[in-house]
Chain A
């Protein structure tokens, strides 16, 4: 178990390092001279020079990379070009609402997705199954921002149950939770559909296994076969799709934050993009990617609890 955990951790480190490298080359991939790209065509030569030296663009690539990586490790993620504040601090200031949205949507996805998938599998071949399968296909096909716009029309204007925009009053947990409901459901619906589809197919696969036949031959009750024997065996696959769903949600969260005008990493990234604040953009993207890796690492640690074959 410990060996497994260490093994997984050893995989996380190169993955994060890979992302850091990817982010490093992002700036260098700017068309033409990055400094000109950042400051615009009308920047003074002095300003360009200053930016180049602050970004160490005048040094050899290897040295740039060295300073960049050591900076990353010591928490120096560069400065926002716009506010001149450390990018790390800017990112951290909006990370909470973003994570709240992401985790709330995953919660919605799990709570809806798994029961729907199980129900669909149990009723395989019936009208309910077809209906649910059709719904889940639609669920993964609707553009999330469009769904957001429609829910705003319906649940914030026609039936004013929830606020249309914002993240709720600062300091008031109730107001913040209230403001989280719509975006979380919108963002979670796609995830719910993914999870339901996979839950259905892995339940069906497990129900065809020999050991289910044996359990039946031994007179174990159908409900126990379904909820203990089959569910437990289907869990690893469901768990892995939860990890994937989290990654998809992190990407879609940007759209949902913009639709609901919520503060968060998504809004920050968009703002940074339009103001050509590449250091901030880099920090924001890296933060999101690292969160995906960490969540998947936690999920990886859950596998051996479910599947004894991984405990060594």
Chain B
């Protein structure tokens, strides 16, 4: 038995094959099939790849691309009804697929370990986190409990869990999502494995948390010599962290190469389309996103030939693409390989990298319209628990004094992290929930306290599109009955309704012949189109879009965004666009409001706000979004803020952002002592930040923000270039 310290383990069977820096994980011809009721589904098809110790490999793909299954197979963790039918997985020449269960168990966690997507569900809720890490040590090493505890504390320190000693016996529910992900990374790191597979490790986290975790992974990689596999759908994450990139589609690798090659000289049409269809935060509102037609194929019905050909701008019409499955072949320098018959033609196609600083004239002057919706001092407080003693009531201040207006014809974006109240705000505006106080005026008439009847009438003017296209359609209804519902609810159903429904379907890009189908017969993007058609049915003036594209694959996102833009122009719609994704907001919105813990902290014209963010939180948010551009992303300064969004039950006193604010901390250093406030944890911050909530100011250009010290601050401590 070896000790699990910093010295990497050597494979027993082949001690000379690996050196401290040269372990290698090789997958050869891996094919995984699932026996489903409708037949055999090939989830991974003849995949070969190599990962070397010390490198970070980004694995990119949309849903159903086989990226997760590939690496679960590497771990020997594919379960019934899945089965590896061909291929091998070798760790330094030792074929893992030939090992028995116990030997394989010895490899997992010790030589290769894994970090999963959702930190909320990945820790066992009934055990303290310390015990769970101790268990990992004791599963592999014959060491005492005390020794395991000592080492567990070491790894917790390594991932920066503050006061690890005191929190050792805490349970997972006592940690925030970001902290839990750190604990899971600590578990994965415990035995200093040579390889870590991280399956969408930041997808379930807010952007500021994502930035923290990416930072941590980067830091760990420099300290410890590991090979990191980063499975993700987010090209920005890849651009920021990966050395090499593997792109998967339909269960196959379609392209691989080093990160700069993949981003700047892609040689597969799918990669090219993916890059072009991504809205980017550094991009000035472009005309249209490039969109890939259709949706990621279902594995049970993969097209013949090249799986991508029906959606391909090169091969859709070419017989070779339809009949012959392309193999991976060399496409350039440094192991760049592509599986496209016509890869060479792509040398002439640019990836449309946006020109920085180029300002495109605003299309039309729609935003000069009159105020359609006026919101004044809106509050939505609700009890924190359903049953509370009267003398100790706790309220969640989901929306806490918000004022703004929406002008006719514009798109107003509301961004913020989870818990900032943006969705609650949206639901208040359409009166799905009744606000606690404040006023909402639609075209001058007050709607915040309408009775049931008037409120329903209002629904013909204000509509909503929901986030989750899988949950927002009644699974038992046909498209026809879903779209008929708005007409029936307002007594407008008549003989022409079916015709109108078909028109609606055509408008949003659905085939009207599918009117009798049920939601499960459509893909995610198509379902979202149904949701949009439902919102359009009553010809509303204002549509509240609650994260309408966040549940969709990247290539489908672009289709929906383009559709929304077209519809806006066609029907003169006004949008309120709620999102957490700043890139999407930048792409589609005219004006943007940033929310934090129930309040608006900054609002302004989109271009001004993105070019010149004034509130420290806005700056943090913008810097946390990774750009899908390796050179730029790595040259950029990143402001990483500590901690996570506090609970809206007991928001921090004064400016809600002060405990995490990098500017306040920096300012405190240069201020006289009598202007500083001593904090409970020993730190000092400027008095106003701790004591008073800053009023949101008004400026001539319509760019407002709520920070006591805007303009004063110019030094960003905590900034780090790479």
Contacts and interface: CB of A to CB of B under 8 A. Distances in A.
A232 B171 contact: no
B135 interface: yes
Interface string B86-115: 000000000000000100011111100110
A218 interface: yes
Contacts of A47: none
A306 interface: yes
A210 B122 contact: yes
A220 interface: yes
B77 A221 contact: no
Contact of A218 (B80, B113, B118, B171): B113
B265 to A, nearest CB: 35
B145 interface: no
Interface residues of A, number: 22
Contacts, number: 82
A15 to B, nearest CB: 16
Interface in A215-242: 215-222, 224, 229, 232-233
Contact of A233 (B77, B126, B128): B126
A170 to B, nearest CB: 46
A218 B136 contact: yes
B690 interface: no
A214 interface: yes
B105 A211 contact: no
Given A219-B108, A219-B139, A224-B135, A308 B122 contact: no
A307 B171 CA distance: 10
Given A209-B121, A233-B126, A306-B126, A216 B108 contact: yes
A216 B101 contact: no
A211 B122 CA distance: 4
Interface residues of B, number: 32
Given A216-B108, A219-B136, A307 B125 contact: yes
Contacts of A221: 105, 139
B113 A217 contact: yes
Residues of A contacting B: mostly:
helix
Contacts of A211: 121-125
A307 B124 CA distance: 11
B127 interface: yes
Given A217-B77, A220-B109, A309 B116 contact: no
A213 interface: yes
B171 A219 contact: no
A125 B113 CA distance: 29
B373 interface: no
A211 B125 CA distance: 9
Interface in A177-220: 209-211, 213-220
B173 interface: yes
Given A214-B114, A214-B187, A220 B121 contact: no
Contact of A308 (B80, B173, B187, B190): B173
A210 B126 CA distance: 14
B620 interface: no
A233 B106 CA distance: 25
A203 to B, nearest CB: 14
Contact of A217 (B101, B108, B125): B108
Task: Specify which of A209, A214, A215, A229 lies most central, judged by the most chain B CB atoms within 10 Å of its CB.
Answer: A214
Nearest to B131: A228
B479 interface: no
Contacts of A209: 121
B126 A219 contact: no
Nearest to B112: A217
Nearest to A229: B124
A219 B140 contact: yes
Interface in B65-97: 75, 77, 80
Nearest to B119: A210
Contacts of B127: 229, 232
Contacts of B592: none
Contacts of B110: 219
B18 to A, nearest CB: 19
Nearest to B106: A219
A125 B190 CA distance: 35
B25 interface: no
Contact of A219 (B109, B122, B184): B109
A274 B514 CA distance: 68
B398 interface: no
A219 to B, nearest CB: 3
A104 to B, nearest CB: 30
A178 B397 CA distance: 65
A109 B123 CA distance: 32
Contacts of B140: 219
Interface string A280-312: 000000000000000000000000001111000
Interface string A100-130: 0000000000000000000000000100000
Interface in B154-208: 171, 173, 184, 187-188, 190
Interface in A247-302: none
A308 B136 CA distance: 21
A308 B172 CA distance: 9
A255 B210 CA distance: 63
Interface string B531-549: 0000000000000000000
B67 to A, nearest CB: 16
B125 A309 contact: yes
A306 B121 CA distance: 18
A219 B77 CA distance: 11
B606 to A, nearest CB: 38
Nearest to A308: B171
Contact of B107 (A213, A219, A232, A309): A219
A220 B136 contact: yes
A220 B126 contact: no
B626 to A, nearest CB: 25
Task: Specify which of A209, A211, A233, A306 lies most central, judged by the most chain B CB atoms within 10 Å of its CB.
Answer: A211
B135 A214 contact: no
B173 A218 contact: no
A214 B125 contact: no
B9 to A, nearest CB: 12
Contacts of B124: 211, 215, 229, 232-233
A210 B109 contact: no
Contacts of B122: 210-211, 213-214
A229 B127 CA distance: 9
Contacts of B125: 211, 233, 307-309
17 contacts: A209-B121, A210-B116, A213-B122, A214-B123, A217-B109, A219-B109, A220-B109, A222-B101, A222-B105, A224-B135, A232-B124, A232-B127, A233-B124, A233-B126, A308-B125, A308-B128, A309-B171
Closest 3 CB pairs of A and B: A219-B109, A218-B109, A219-B108
Given A214-B116, A218-B109, A307-B126, 14 more contacts: A211-B121, A211-B122, A213-B122, A217-B75, A217-B109, A219-B139, A220-B109, A220-B135, A221-B105, A222-B101, A229-B124, A306-B126, A308-B125, A309-B125
